[in-house]
Chains A and B, each alone.
Chain A
Amino acid sequence: MIETTPAALEVSDISEASETSGPIETDAIVIGAGPCGLFAVFELGLLDIKAHVIDILDRPGGQCAELYPEKPIYDVPALPVVTGQELTDRLMEQIKPFGPQFHFNERIDGLVREADGRFRLTTDAGTEFLAKVVVVAAGGGSFTPKRPPLNGIEEYEGKSVFYSVRKIETMRGHDIVIVGGGDSALDWTLNLAPVAKSLTLIHRRDEFRAAPHSVEKMRKLVEEATVRLMIGQVTALEGANGHLTAVDVKTASGTERIACSAMLPFFGLTMKLGPVANWGLNLHENLISVDTERFETSEHGIFAIGDINTYPGKLKLILSGFHEGALMAQAAHKIVYPDKKLLFQYTTSSSSLQKKLGVK
């Protein structure tokens, strides 16, 4: 799996200033900025439905950006070959006329229906939205840090095992163990070395994926004996009541016990369905059941498109998600504009659509 920079995984000291006076009111909330979420903005936009897009990652693209930015995709119609990043960039360009507002590094946690029929959505950062329709385009779920399969690790999480650090000061004076070889592991090694009582970096091999300049800096700290580098793998945790006292590390020469009071494992991200499971929607094997006319969930006004939905014959293809977005938008229009009759139009010939696209 892929790592993001530490800043992408948590709220930094300064970004807490993102509070607003009240909930943000909008027509549609799109959950997920992957290709299907982005194209949904386009289809909604053509029908004058304004959208805010929320994504847990720090940039658009979803799996395309996180898992396959450089890898070629061969089955997007009319693009014989396109990389995940290119596809994302092109979609961003395509939806620009509709001015979607993005909320990155945030995850929708709460979703409740208000008395007036609208939905109140709350993010983990405290941002609130009021929307007439919700489009769940969350793909495989939200990207969350991978939990190493060490016995009893859950007990330590949040107390002495951390997947991100909010405030560097909280780590002062700790005997810290950092596990991993990517940018997150190396960045935090460099950031925490000055405040730690001791810092041990554990990686399975003496080669690092992280940016070469970070690796160089880390090597220098190791030379100065500020940081200890161990080549090995953590096999067990030692401690009680959530407080870590040591970890066992399997190395080429045997198992060694390293005393520590905090561990930061960086094994990349994995996708978890997350809070979606708590919104009262009909689920089938962790996917959201929808109809194939509107791609609406069991809850009127909440739609699900792309990899996260299921219906008879479902294929997890980007092109299917695009189709689902187009039909969803037609149904969403009935909710957002109950009194307006929708005239089906083509972008090729409709001057009103062309005006919206800014080409006329």
Chain B
Amino acid sequence: MTKITFIQPDGESQTVEAENGLTVMEAAKLNDIAGIEAECGGACACATCHVYVDEAWRDKTGKAADMEEDMLDFAFDVREGSRLCCQIKITDALDGLVVRVPAKQF
């Protein structure tokens, strides 16, 4: 099991354990993390699972692919470290991953 921490805009943090092979979005949905909507169900067809990957983890999660970048155009307040978390696959290398949930998904 891999630990992932979600930090809400108000600073509240929740650490969940997730199985490798799932996506960070699925881990969030399984654990009822607030603010991760995932309207399209993980098809990279919306932008409602937007998160900010903590700076220390950006090398490990890698960068958004072209299709994901296109979808990020539909997210609000995109910053460095912005990712759609349905596109981040959980592996051992991500154990301890910290992501921040944006104030708004839209």
Chain A contacts to B: CB under 8 angstroms = 1-2, 67-68, 71, 140, 146-149, 180-182, 203-205, 207, 209, 233, 235, 267-268, 270-271
Contacts and interface: CB of A to CB of B under 8 A. Distances in A.
Given A67-B40, A149-B106, A204 B73 contact: yes
A177 B3 CA distance: 44
A207 B69 contact: yes
Given A67-B46, A146-B106, A204-B72, 4 more contacts: A140-B39, A147-B106, A207-B69, A270-B39
Interface string B74-100: 101110000000000000000000000
Contacts of B104: 149
A146 B77 CA distance: 15
A64 to B, nearest CB: 11
A148 B69 contact: no
Contacts of B17: none
Contacts of B40: 67
A71 B72 CA distance: 18
A19 to B, nearest CB: 36
B45 interface: yes
B9 to A, nearest CB: 12
Main secondary structure of the interface of A (DSSP, over half): loop
B43 A267 contact: no
Contacts of A140: 39
A233 B45 contact: no
A235 B77 CA distance: 8
A319 to B, nearest CB: 16
Contacts of B38: none
B73 A209 contact: yes
A267 B106 contact: yes
B106 A182 contact: no
Contacts of B72: 204
Q: A-B pairs with the 7 shortest C-beta distances? A: A149-B104, A67-B45, A209-B70, A149-B106, A268-B74, A267-B74, A1-B74
A301 B104 CA distance: 40
B24 interface: no
A32 B83 CA distance: 32
Contacts of B45: 1-2, 67-68, 71
B43 A233 contact: no
Contacts of B46: 1, 67, 270
A1 B70 contact: no
B36 interface: no
B73 A146 contact: no
A131 B72 CA distance: 43
Contacts of A147: 106
A1 B70 CA distance: 9
6 contacts: A1-B71, A149-B76, A149-B106, A209-B70, A233-B76, A267-B74
Contacts of A149: 76, 104, 106
Interface in B49-74: 69-74
B28 interface: no
Contact of A1 (B47, B77, B78): B47
A340 B13 CA distance: 63
